[in-house]
Amino acid sequence: MSYAFHINKGSELPALRMELIDNGKNRFQKFYLAIQAAKSVTFSMWNADTGVYKIANAPADVVYDEESGCEERYLLQYKWRKRDTDESGVFTGQFKILFSDDIYMDGVTFPAGELVVPISEDLSITVNDAGLKR
């Protein structure tokens, strides 16, 4: 199984937003706070058939989830550029979160290093032919 995202060829909207999935651990809420302190968040996307990168380590953002209700949550977000979606096909995407220093929160340590998201499943991105008109 994978996360599926669809966008039309040549489109810049909607932005790609990915939520970190709550796996039931009590430290999960603290992780939302920790990613706000990350040194950088990047996004990469490559052709699922050829493995050729379309986007490599482009800057991405951590944004507040306005629809999270009473619970404060954050999403990883990538804003598309026209050149990102100028080729139709199926792509695999991934976010990387870089923690440059250990982060300590309420007795929980988030070690320095890189976290790749999604963690357990692929992010499948389909760029549909229907969008680009010249």
**How many domains, in total, are found in the chain?**
1
Query: Which residues span the domain enclosing 84?
Result: 2-128
How many CB atoms neighbour CB 96 within 10 A?
17
Confidence class for position 44, pLDDT limits 50, 70, 90: very high
How far is residue 52's CA from residue 58's CA, in Å, rounded to a whole number? 15
Q: 3-state class of 28 per DSSP?
A: helix
- 28 within some domain: yes
Question: What mean pLDDT is predicted for residues 88-102?
Answer: 90
The CATH number given to whatever domain includes residue 44 is: 2.60.40
* Candidate from 24-28, 30-34, 87-91 with smallest mean pLDDT: 24-28
Question: pTM of the prediction?
Answer: 0.83
Task: Name the average pLDDT for the chain.
Answer: 83
pLDDT higher than 50, residue 26? no
How far is residue 90's CA from residue 28's CA, in Å, rounded to a whole number? 31
